[in-house]
Amino acid sequence: MTISGMTHEEAREALEALALDALDASEHAAVLAHVQGCAECRLELATLEADVAQLAYAVRPESMSDVQRVRVRGRLLARAAADRSSSSPVMPDTDVRRVPAMAKSSSRQSMWIALAASVVAAVSLASLFQVNRERETIAAAYASAAGDRTATRASLDSLRSAMADRDKLIANLTGPDVAVVTMASAGPQTPSARMFWDQSVNAWTFVAHNLPKPKAGRTYQLWLVTASQKISAGTFSPGANGEAVVRATYALAKDSLAAVAVTDEPEAGSAQPTTVPFIVGMKSAR
């Protein structure tokens, strides 16, 4: 069978295999070449391909495990969000429908979800190593504060307590009750943060690095985001080194946390977020 000169009859006999994509390479090219110039074969091929497509239904649907399902969903939405924000309305086949005004008018809620999704790729399970590093960071801050006569007793206590938290986390991290949220920033700088949620005692510990100082009259506010509400976990300001540790106690059903976020708010804090979060993270699947 030669590449050129395949007759209609020869091609016709191979259409079924072509539809199944089961032809050997050379034959595949020859049949395809004929089909391109033959309306009858094209039509027949389209029908056969539609039938082949139906064969997928013979397979029993089977959901992925919860961990896989959530993981893939998170990655997909993160990619999609990144894809959307990176693709300017230049693509010829989409620019007509890509109406900027609509994006602008989309509700704050959807913006939140989009932002939450956009950092999922950065989420990973906590490693002992990471927690250890955080403890070292806090320990260093404590050592330097302890040597500083102007450091208040309260700030020393707070750091010591944060260290104790870390110690406890190190001890408990492999336990079943600790969920970890790794957070990433949407801003140009690269603040990073992690939220530790000890579900057995409803304790939340938030550790952030590289935070810029809030503007005058402003503060940062930490939020626990569920499907239906955003719960304030308190306001905070980072220290001179850009580090912050926030602890909160709040009982939340194990599966209800959708994301954790930090917004820039007026100094007194807000009942509900008034700005788009600049740090946000979603719960790791585990």
Using CB under 8 A, pick the residue from 1, 40, 84, 275 that binds other proteins. 84
Which lies closer to Zn ion via its Cβ, residue 12 or residue 283? 12
* Contact status: 41 vs other proteins (CB under 8 A): no
Count of residues that bind other proteins according to CB under 8 A: 53
Encoded one letter per residue, x for contact with Zn ion by CB under 5 A and - for no contact, window 26-65 reads ------------x--x------------------------
Which lies closer to other proteins via its Cβ, residue 2 or residue 150? 2
* Contact status: 48 vs other proteins (CB under 8 A): yes
Segment 114-133, which members bind other proteins (CB under 8 A)?
Answer: 114, 117
Residues constituting the chain = 286
Using CB under 8 A, pick the residue from 42, 75, 160, 218 that binds other proteins. 75
For the purposes of burial, counting CB atoms within 10 Å of the CB of 49, is it exposed (0-12), middle (13-18) or buried (19 or more)?
A: middle
Which helix (H) or strand (E) segment holds residue 208: the answer is strand 203-209
* Contact status: 77 vs other proteins (CB under 8 A): yes
Using CB under 8 A, pick the residue from 72, 125, 140, 164 that binds other proteins. 72
269: left (phi over 0), alpha (psi -120 to 50) or beta: left
Taking CB within 5 to 8 Å according to partner kind, which of other proteins, Zn ion, none is near residue 41? Answer: Zn ion
Q: Of 206, 200, 201, which Cα lies nearest the Cα of 177?
A: 200
Q: Of 197, 222, 217, which Cα lies nearest the Cα of 273?
A: 222
Task: Kindly give, in sequence order, each residue whose CB lies less than 8 Å from that of residue 188, ignoring residues fewer than 6 positions away.
Answer: none
d(CA 284, CA 260): 11
Contact 245, 275 (CB under 8 A): no
Site residues for other proteins per CB under 8 A: 13-14, 16-17, 19-25, 47-48, 50-64, 68-69, 71-73, 75-77, 79-81, 83-84, 87, 93-94, 97-99, 102-103, 110, 113-114, 117
